[in-house]
């Protein structure tokens, strides 16, 4: 099973980015093989609108079935839900901390967006 994290860095020690749609990168961690890959999300940093929607599609395309993020808006949440991706919110400082929280079952699955959308 693969799990996605929002980050601005390239490894597990990198900070967890609290934004979803405009997170610079996604770290996709494979829990079965304990390996990860980093997916660039820079194309969405300057998107005029729909960054959350596009980011959710990118995460779905990565094969992740869960995502651990700081915040998630309503449109991104709708796309993630449609793609069957479970959303977990955290205020962990780094990807490694967030991964530990996930593994130890400290995170509960989010049932709705936790912030307002930025567009309308």
Partner 1 sequence: MIVAVASGKGGTGKTTVAVNLAGSVGTDIQLLDCDVEEPNCHLFIKGTVRHENTVGIPVPRVDESLCDGCGECGRFCQYHAIASIGTKPLIFPEMCHGCGGCAKVCPKKAIADVNHRIGTIRIIEAGPITLTEGKIDVGVAMAPPMIREVKLKMRKNIDAILDAPPGTSCPVIAAVRGSDFVVMVTEPTPFGLHDLQIAVDTIRQLTIPFGVVVNRMGIGDDRIHQFCREQQIPILVEFPDDRRIAEEYSKGNLIIESLPQYRSIFESLWERVWNSVHP
By CB under 8 A, which span of 2-10, 31-39, 78-86, 87-95 interacts with partner 1?
78-86
Site string for partner 1, 2-41 (x = CB under 8 A): ----------------------------------------
The answer to whether residues 72 and 87 touch, using CB atoms and an 8 Å cutoff, is yes
Residue 75 binds partner 1, judged by CB under 8 A: yes
Strand pairing of 25-30 and 35-40?
antiparallel
What CA dihedral angle connects 18, 23, 28 and 31, to 10 degrees?
Answer: 0
Which residues are CB-contacts of 12 (< 8 A; sequence separation ≥ 6)? 27, 36, 94, 95, 96, 99
Nearer to partner 1 (CB atom), residue 9 or residue 50: 50
Instruction: Choose, by CB under 8 A, the member of 24, 30, 57, 97 that binds partner 1.
Output: 57
Residue 82 binds partner 1, judged by CB under 8 A: yes
């Amino acid at each position: 099973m693969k799990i996605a994290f929002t980050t601005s860095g390239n490894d597990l020690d990198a900070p967890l980015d609290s934004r979803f749609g405009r997170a610079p990168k996604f770290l996709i961690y494979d829990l079965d093989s304990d390996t990860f890959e980093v997916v660039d999300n820079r194309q969405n940093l300057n998107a005029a609108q729909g960054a959350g929607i596009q980011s959710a599609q990118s995460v779905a395309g990565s094969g992740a079935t869960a995502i651990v993020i700081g915040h998630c808006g309503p449109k991104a949440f709708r796309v993630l839900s449609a793609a069957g991706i479970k959303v977990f919110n955290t205020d962990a400082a780094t990807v490694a901390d967030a991964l530990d929280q996930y593994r130890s079952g400290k995170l509960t699955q989010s049932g709705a967006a936790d912030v307002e959308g930025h567009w309308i």
